[in-house]
Chain A
């Protein structure tokens, strides 16, 4: 039995325990053996494990589901060890279950998958599964989003392919419902992306966000794609921080000062070392801001603004707690950094993840996220909290310094700040929260009855994207009010009728519009973040009023969004980044594949980041400018290899 504890119980008793687990405290869960023993993972990756044994291979807590089976296969994941290089489907790790003994994974030959098994494929299978599952646990935990999260694909079980083939790559692919992990380097002794905690967590983060906000998969702007990268990197950072051993090592090395070199702020160390010779692949501890990414078309690069902002907030919270710890008398000095990091971890998980529920269903940008984080604190940080002002001021300052709001302090103090949420509507037709949350159709009825207040054109059919309840906990594990979250959207056709659209000229694109309404349990609207369109215009003859002014603002917002979308598409065309995808052709992903795929459906254009390019850990390739704006045909666009 591993060091997760546990007492021998029958299978039936384990099922009983699993059912009551949500009501048990962490210590009790541990004592009763709720967790599966003997699940070992690389806390970071094999390179870090060599240089820093404190964050080497350790046991991880994964809940022992009654339906767990070999593979591993659990409710939300199935590991399928298919290798495209060899065409072979290998057997998975075996779940050994003996009556009266806790189950555990082992090789088909009966070898336990402990540290000594780190070179075995079964170890890698379990490693990838366990990290993915722990990231999902993190996001679903009441301290985060407080609900079971859906995938952005049909069905509820994603496929993990730990040895997908040879290549410097790993990605989430919605179209095959899978996380694919490749291996690279010396074929005799390859390095496995499935052994990198950060890479597995990053791809899992993509999958989770795709379930939360499926329309973010549409490449409507560089910032939307960059937001995907941000959440994926955030998943890696928070998942790392959540591990006791990683926090312990980090606190020892940094003394609680996270600006010092540490494994949390470096992402994908081993992979980064391989690619660039400089580890890691990306740095969360950065000073990037909106000016420094101006004109940058790489979602990975742009995402660093938000990653850097949230890491800075984490760093300052840790410092605040550290200062508070130090000021307490009679404490053991060595304990301060660790405790400060624990507190900071709790708070950053709340502050970074819980606001995700506020975000609009489409076309998210960095300001939306900054606004959501601030709104979250304003709503949920208790007025009696001694740190309320600190958190709110910190978030405002960091996002302003990162230039997400360009207003002067005076403008922002007078209420004209991009980070402040806008006013909430007063309904034309009231629906009780019990009624509107009954079903998507009931929610639609509510939306339809209040189109005018929500600025939804009457001729547009509304899609209810999602409707769900949350059960979150906040500071000191206090239960937050339950939320009912309603996402809706519609789309406007936008004709690409200028020469700058090249081969896309004459096609239609979609301006995605919609909003997210968040109610409390009593039906009070606590947040509305939305993306207006251009089809409702203010009547010039109407008398001046606050409502007319508001409508004018929204109309202008919609027009700006439309212009931004057109500029975005033209920019992608100009830089030769778009490849036309043939829906009847086999999809290929390789060095010549354009990073953006354009798919025509019923005459309307859908842009998606190519899976292997969206999520690969590569940075954007060198791109030759294509000034006349043609969609270049095929392989020449990559600016690198081509035939002749």
Chain B
């Protein structure tokens, strides 16, 4: 029996940990794409995952596990937390290559504006510690605050871990750099990010926008304010200090809102998206690439484009012109990541999924690494998307999601609204959090997909 290509999606809650075993002539390549969890997978829980992974890896003469390639798609907690919590495990491996998104390269010229914005966002976040923003932004700050604690992982990836090759990839990375396979029809393609990061993902958005607002949120102390303006100066501008303070609070809030939005979205949209071709099979790993529905237009030069909008623009006649054999659904099945909308009439962006997942032309296995974490349960994974993908996927599943989360709710630890769950009797793509119902499921720790040459 010829060797199979295996893709495992580990169940890490809201996060990604994807192991690939790729037959390559007489050898086998072992690849790990991301290793992180957003919610309840701390050091101990991740140990089980890493132990399982370790069993898959070959050992050298000294017993050191060998990993051919570690890919970190972007620097979000749910994609790299294990490099913070379980860094020692990675240190004991012999990792041949580390590939990261070009946007993760420190002081990278084509991402100068984006990185300035991130730095600004982090500064703001630090200045906002303990400050209540209210409503929807508390959630955002909660999430973005992870970005502040990623420093050890980033340092390990960028320099501390000893590797033979360390690459920051974009669509203009030379093909020979990606040539890690000996089999001629086996190769990775970088679909995202673009080389001109600022130009594609930021467009005319002004880095530096938002400067000066941190100090005046609600007039809180210990924040750097706008330039010092005393009441005498204000009188010359015909405005009282009270009116001016109120005004600047509101103006600043606006700028902050846009800044925080930009900071969070840019990380996802500059994530590394890879297409693996193997013996004619096409496997897409969508990372957290987001899409923007702009009606009839998909890509607008000079605007802040989203990842899928760029990828379609750049690869629609190339790497994305043919249907896939496997889609690792992006962003944990979120409403904003897979380029499909239930809107009627369908927006232009839908043509991307219609091209890539075409069951009548090519069976496509689909996997989702997700969990209905209460904080994001409405849109991760997104019910309508799950139903749509379930109708297209090869080997889709009839999960009893409602029952599963109802049972978890009874423990008192979860508060999942069952209305967000796909009802029993409706097909879904394979999901890491529901694999107990999968007849092919072997281990509750992961979902496995197999491909023959």
**A-to-B contact residues, CB < 8 Å:** 69-71, 73, 78, 80, 82, 84-89, 91-92, 155, 159, 161, 164-167, 169, 173, 175-178, 180, 184-187, 276-277, 576, 579-582, 584-594, 597, 611-612, 622, 624, 626-628, 630, 632-644
Contact = CB atoms under 8 A, between A and B. Distances in A.
B290 A641 contact: yes
B335 A639 contact: yes
Interface in B282-299: 288, 290, 292-293, 295, 297
Interface string B344-365: 0000000000000000000000
A153 B177 CA distance: 64
B378 interface: yes
A163 to B, nearest CB: 10
Contacts of A588: 133-137, 253-254, 256-257, 260
A409 B246 CA distance: 54
B135 A85 contact: no
B52 interface: no
Contacts of B297: 277
B112 to A, nearest CB: 14
B291 to A, nearest CB: 10
Contact of B254 (A78, A84, A277, A626): A84
B252 interface: yes
Nearest to A89: B229
A165 B226 contact: no
A314 to B, nearest CB: 30
Nearest to B249: A586
Interface stretch (B237-245, B272-280, B430-438): B237-245
Interface of B: 14, 38, 76, 78, 131-140, 142-144, 204-206, 208-213, 217-218, 220, 225-227, 229, 233, 237-239, 243-244, 246-261, 264-265, 288, 290, 292-293, 295, 297, 302, 331-332, 334-336, 341, 343, 373, 375-376, 378-380, 382, 417, 419-420
B417 A630 contact: yes
B150 to A, nearest CB: 14
Nearest to B380: A644
B212 A87 contact: yes
A611 to B, nearest CB: 8
A176 B212 contact: no
B209 A636 contact: no
Given A166-B258, A639-B379, 11 more contacts: A80-B244, A85-B209, A185-B204, A579-B136, A580-B135, A588-B257, A641-B264, A642-B334, A644-B76, A644-B143, A644-B373
A159 B264 contact: no
A73 B139 contact: no
A87 B142 CA distance: 26
A165 B218 contact: no
B292 to A, nearest CB: 8
Contact of A586 (B225, B253, B292): B253
B61 to A, nearest CB: 42
A633 B375 contact: yes
Contacts of A587: 134, 249-250, 253
Contact of A634 (B140, B211, B238, B292): B140
A590 B250 contact: no
B136 A592 contact: yes
Nearest to A621: B293
Nearest to B341: A622
B34 to A, nearest CB: 13
A78 B238 contact: yes
A632 B378 contact: yes
A89 B230 CA distance: 11
Contacts of B295: 276
B376 A177 contact: no
A504 B17 CA distance: 38
B238 A69 contact: yes
A175 B143 CA distance: 29
10 contacts: A78-B239, A85-B212, A88-B227, A165-B254, A589-B257, A590-B260, A592-B260, A632-B378, A633-B136, A643-B376
Which are the 8 A-B pairs with shortest beta-carbon distances?
A590-B257, A87-B212, A585-B134, A582-B134, A634-B136, A87-B226, A643-B143, A628-B419
Given A641-B336, A642-B336, A175 B137 contact: no
A600 to B, nearest CB: 12
Contacts of B206: 85, 166, 187
B212 A86 contact: yes
B127 to A, nearest CB: 12
A180 B252 CA distance: 12
Contacts of B211: 85-87
B136 A635 contact: yes
A69 B239 CA distance: 13
A573 B246 CA distance: 30
A589 B213 CA distance: 13
B313 to A, nearest CB: 16
B355 to A, nearest CB: 21
A633 B136 CA distance: 6
Given A622-B343, A644-B38, A165 B376 contact: no
Contact of B226 (A71, A88, A592): A88
A581 B208 contact: no
A186 to B, nearest CB: 5
A582 B204 contact: no
A582 B302 contact: no
A70 B239 CA distance: 12
A376 to B, nearest CB: 37
Nearest to A186: B204
B154 to A, nearest CB: 19
A484 to B, nearest CB: 33
Nearest to A71: B238
